[in-house]
Amino acid sequence: MNSALRTTQQKWLRRGPVFNAAQHAEWATTHAALPVAQNLGGGLTRVHFCSRDQRGRAQIGFLEFELDQPGAVSRISERPTIQLGPLGAFDDSGVTSSCLVEHDGRHFLFYTGWSLGVTVPFYYGIGLAVSSDRGLTFEKVSQAPILGRHHVDPFLCASPSVIIEDGVWRMWYVSGVGWRETTGDPQHLYHIRYAESDDGLTWRRDGRVCVDFANEDEYAFGRPCVIKDEDCYRMWYCYRGERYQLGYAESRDGLHWIRQDRQAGLDPAIAGWDGEMIAYPHVFDQQSTRWMLYNGNGYGRSGFGLAMQSSERVAAKPSMSQPTALAD
C-alpha cells in the first residue's frame, strides 16, 4: 500500500520568531510552547499556546498576529483560557496545548494534562475543552481525561492530533511504553499510536503503533501533527535522542506510516533561538500557503517561530523499507 508513495523533499523557509513569553503576565512568566494556529481570516492568526507561571506550571492562552509580520503580536490574552484542574485531578500541575478542531460551529481544543508522580516525575492524560465563541474562551468537558492510562496505554497518553473524516474522529497521539532507570530521574519512552471516536469524547484504541523508534538511541516523540492531502496523509513530529529534531512520515490510510525524516526540511539553525533544537511542530494551511509554527531551544523557553513551505519541492529518493536513522 505505502510502497507507491513518492516522497518529495520539503523545504521550509524561516520567517522569524513570533513570541517569547518572558514575564508577560502572572500566568506567562517563562516559555511559549506547543503553538496551535486558528485562522481568523486573511493573514490574521490566533495562536493557542502554553506558558509557565512562577512555579513552573503550564497553562494555555492565546495571542494574535499577521502572518506577514510574525514578530508583531497584536493581542495577547490577559489570563489563561484553559487553567489547571483541581487538586488531585489529572491536570492539576499543568495543561499544554495539542490541537484544535472546528466542528458544528464550535472549536474543540485537545490538550495534555500533567500530574506529578513519586516513583516517576510525571503522568500525562489527554483532555478536551470546547469553545462556542470562536476560541476566545473554553470549557473543559470533564475533570477526567478523555484518554488516560488504560490496559492499552498503561503509562501515559499525550499530545494528540485529531482530524474528522467521514464522520469519524481520528487521533494520533503519544503513548508511553515504559520508563528507563538512569543515574538521575527515570527516562520516559514514548512513541505515536492511533485511536478513533464517533463523537470526540469516547475513544476506541487497540495499541496500533504508527511511528516507532528507529534505533536504541531514540526514546521520545513530541506532538504529532497530521494533515490529509489529496495524495496521502502527512505527519510532522519531533523526535529525540540527544536533542529534539523535526521528523516527517507519510501514509496512504493514516494507519500504516513510513518515516521520511531526512525529507522533513528544517534543521536547527547555526545559532540563535532555534540553534539547539526544533520541537513541537504545528503545520497549517492559510492564504494558499503551508506554514509551520514550531519551538526552538529549551522546549519553548526561547519561544516559538514561523516557517513557510517553499513552493520549490524536489523529488527525493524514497527509502520505503526502513525508517531513517537518527542524524548525527
Summarised one tens digit per residue, pLDDT across range 210-220 is 999 999 999 99
In sequence order, which residues have a C-beta less than 8 Å from that of residue 284 and are 6 or more positions away? 37, 39, 227, 290, 291, 292, 293
Q: pLDDT per residue over 169-218, tens digit each?
A: 999 999 999 999 988 889 999 999 999 999 999 999 999 999 999 999 99
CATH domain 2-315 topology: Tachylectin-2; Chain A (2.115.10)
Mean pLDDT of 298-303: 95
pLDDT at residue 308 is higher than 90: yes
pLDDT at residue 16 is higher than 60: yes
pLDDT for residue 161: 98
pLDDT at residue 325 is higher than 60: no
Q: Grid coordinates in use for 156?
A: 501515559
Domains in the chain: boundaries: 2-315
Q: If we measure between CA atoms, which residue out of 125, 136, 134 comes closest to residue 60?
A: 136
Alpha-carbon distance 194 to 226, whole Å? Answer: 12
Sheet containing strand 44-52, strands side by side: 30-39, 44-52, 58-66, 73-76
pLDDT at residue 314 is higher than 50: no
pLDDT at residue 18 is higher than 80: yes
Alpha-carbon distance 29 to 27, whole Å? Answer: 6
Q: Which helix (H) or strand (E) holds 179?
A: strand 168-180
Is 193:210 a contact under the CB 8 Å cutoff? Answer: yes
